[in-house]
Amino acid sequence: MAMYRVERVGRLIQEKIGSLILEGRIKDPRVDTFLSITRVSMSRDLSYANVYVSSYKSPAGLAKGVEGLQNAAGFIQAQLALLVRLRQTPKLRFYEDPGVREGFDLIKKIEDLTAHEGRNQ
């Protein structure tokens, strides 16, 4: 039962941070709407949240975005305290997740291979 609550709180935090980014409420210029929160990993006692961020933009752009989110972590935490009813708002740590970018690259490679094979037949 406790793990279900941890997962549920993680999904809720993922949704709320995503909406803060999408609404443009985070004023750091490094944070743009092309960033997406892929997952949130909560500690068992809900005191820490590891937030994984991805983007289809360049790896340098993703790194800058994560850095901007880390700088705005205090603001985001304060907004979460207003939006989510928890006894203690978790401390946020942001990490890069290259998954979306790798997915786009893989699809492009597959399309290139199929186009190349179509020309050879």
Half-sphere exposure of 98 (CA within 13 A, CB side): 7
Domain at 44, CATH number:
3.30.300.20
Strand 48-54 relative to strand 36-42, pairing: antiparallel
Contact status, residue 51 vs residue 91, Cβ threshold 8 Å: no
Q: What is the pLDDT of residues 32-48, one digit of tens each?
A: 888 999 999 999 999 99
CA pair distance 121, 117, nearest whole angstrom: 6
C-alpha dihedral over 16, 21, 27, 30, to 10 degrees?
Answer: 130
Segments forming the whole domain that contains residue 43: 2-120
Structural domains in the chain (count): 1
Q: Bigger pLDDT: 2 or 79?
A: 79
pLDDT grade, residue 114 (50/70/90)? confident
Chain mean position to CA 82? 20
pTM over 0.85: no
